[in-house]
Structure 1
């Protein structure tokens, strides 16, 4: 049987859903802080920065996230989810305020790094609240809802941060994620309680799940392979439609926004599917195969100049992001209450590193071999990932 983070479900359904809402808002607010600086680039460039310098500023928050994910996971394992969410959101808001009030680029970079480092707290803790309080037969759906937080946060940042930065400057735009984090902090304080867990002095607490078998390591590897096509589609679909397909930028941007909505709904759908079939990893393998097929069709469309480019971009976006919640839930369930924080931190760190490498490598591939070949190469990654999914080692959901 799969380890559960909560041995008893002693809160009402309304409280569980309220905690899910708080966890989702916490993760969405963190996403506004982490991804919002990317929308400062036009304002920073208009203020005299080169695009390279503005890119360094925008990347500071993401670097902060990668530096602290595992550490926050360790704290979550030791101190609990509520403590980490409250501390992390408060620190994120404080760093955002410091950034808004700071002067000059060096201080802005430092405060954004600190804000990202603090915002990383929500990655493991908010997921563990969901896994800890929801029973297995509802956990996939609940985690699918929680996984919608990233596109929600990116969407909020897209429609607010750039507008405020253009009107009042890059520093003033940081008040947007500050307000989001404060609202999330208040909701977490009002409704979130730590799921019950076994006594930390039990033998179970000392068991390192990574030493038992390769189950968690294989899921990490699968996720690294599957996140690469996701970042490739996110990063190059718009420029492909505009430069190669002749789309107007506004039309292409609208399609990409719609694709993000489809991706969020796709995460919800596969989470529910995993509850229905009683498995996280069988649907994960199905998603990998679907991603391979979709990217192959995208490559064929680019090569033959077919008229279904827009539809395939939406489908590819939806399919390539669908695995995140499944892998996240499977890791938390297997790692158990004393290791899942660190395991989820390792999962997110590996995905961030993979995604960070994809953009420059994808750009080189497009420049040298074109979009069709680049999409075809990306299709090979989920082909490799599918047989690595440890379906046979998955335990019965209980």
Structure 2
């Protein structure tokens, strides 16, 4: 069956305006969560220069929320499958706000790590729930575009964090900077409460088990594996582009944060573009393979030009940011469509758990690699992961459904 023939619940039970308003709320929820999850990466310069932490130690602080996300995504997906998207979004965003307040009020480094971990654990709720809102309310022929818009939330959130958290931390300290994601999550919770409705689901006969999609074939497992490989260069660029610009290129934190923010906006637009492309070509996975190949070339060129200290390396950081985030929406949509309405919460949780497991390891390990080998070598090593991922994308299995 084609993407346009995939079984879906009815979607014409709300107005078009309400459907798009829920997409906006889901996007804001994911963006606010991204500021909370990825924002601590932009505390690395302050932690390193003012607090005296090594890059590896500062990277561990930055990884605390992603570790929290990693450990709770499947659980949030399980709750989403049973209690619904609205409940999970409101509960999760509320808890994220409380943990964010705690992190902004503490001056103890160990407590900061703990509160950031809890904030990430709560923010994980938006990954499964807000994605299900989009898949549940939009028909298959519009899901690529809709999910591309929703997935732009992550780079937009990272961009907001780059342009705000780094600057506030540099001028006013770590605690002041942590109010940025906290306020963002509180506002997102209010909007979700105002507009989000649980999407309809097909009728399910009581006592009838739903087939486990993981036992049917290796499709979902391969998508998870590909996404893990592709997240490595993404987190590498996200975590260390700003530090590279400041330390190696002599940029101010404000200027470096502004460039990273612009790159994240470009990445957000790129997600929309590849989502629309997937709707047009009737495939999520062919564009996913194209993105993997583009990421390989871009990261290799970034490593080379950084080693040669060429000015074009700065432009390539922007391109690398755009390319390395473009895959998420494609994989996310493919997982949700294959898993179905009664397994998508858990499948999306597993998808993001695998990504965050890899992502949480990137900052400390890349910090060690940079300390030993330098930024250029670390960027070049990042090209190996999408190179391995490209042939693993199950394009043939998707075509077999046509």
Q: What TM-score bracket applies, with the shorter chain setting the length? A: 0.7 to 0.9
TM-score, length-normalised on structure 1?
0.87
- Corresponding residue of 1:225: 229
Distance 1:134 1:397, change over 3 A: farther
> What is the aligned counterpart of 2:239 among 223, 235, 238?
235
- Corresponding residue of 1:25: 28
- Corresponding residue of 1:177: 181
Q: How does 1:265-304 map to 2 (within 5 A)?
A: 265-302=269-306
Does 2:12 correspond to 1:34? no
Q: CA deviation at 1:56?
A: 5.3
Q: How does 1:198-347 map to 2 (within 5 A)?
A: 198-201=202-205, 206-240=210-244, 246=249, 248-249=251-252, 252-302=256-306, 306-347=310-351
- Whether the 8 Å CA contact 1:230–1:317 is kept in 2: the answer is yes
Cα distance in 2, alignment partners of residues 361 and 92 from structure 1: 27
Q: State which drifts further: 330-339 or 57-66.
A: 57-66
- Whether the 8 Å CA contact 2:292–2:387 is kept in 1: the answer is yes
Cα distance in 1, alignment partners of residues 232 and 99 from structure 2: 30
What's the RMSD between the two structures over aligned residues?
Answer: 3.1
Cα distance in 2, alignment partners of residues 305 and 162 from structure 1: 24
Distance 1:385 1:202, change over 3 A: farther
Q: CA deviation at 1:113?
A: 2.4
Q: How does 1:3-152 map to 2 (within 5 A)?
A: 3-4=6-7, 6-40=9-43, 50=53, 57-101=61-105, 104-152=108-156
CA deviations on 1:282-330 (whole Å, 9 max, x unpaired) are: 1001111111222233344345555532222222221111101100110
Distance 1:105 1:233, change over 3 A: closer
Q: CA deviation at 1:171?
A: 4.2
- Whether the 8 Å CA contact 1:33–1:119 is kept in 2: the answer is yes
Q: State which drifts further: 33-42 or 64-73.
A: 33-42
- Corresponding residue of 1:348: 352
Q: State which drifts further: 104-113 or 174-183.
A: 104-113
Cα distance in 1, alignment partners of residues 374 and 250 from structure 2: 18
TM-score, length-normalised on structure 2?
0.87
- SS where residue 206 of structure 1 aligns? coil
Gaps of 5+ in 2: none
- SS where residue 14 of structure 2 aligns? coil
Cα distance in 2, alignment partners of residues 397 and 390 from structure 1: 12
Q: CA deviation at 1:35?
A: 2.8
Q: CA deviation at 1:155?
A: 2.9
CA deviations on 1:11-57 (whole Å, 9 max, x unpaired) are: 22111110000001111121222233444566677986746776655
Q: State which drifts further: 103-112 or 146-155.
A: 103-112
Q: CA deviation at 1:140?
A: 1.0
Q: CA deviation at 1:355?
A: 2.1
Q: State which drifts further: 131-140 or 309-318.
A: 309-318
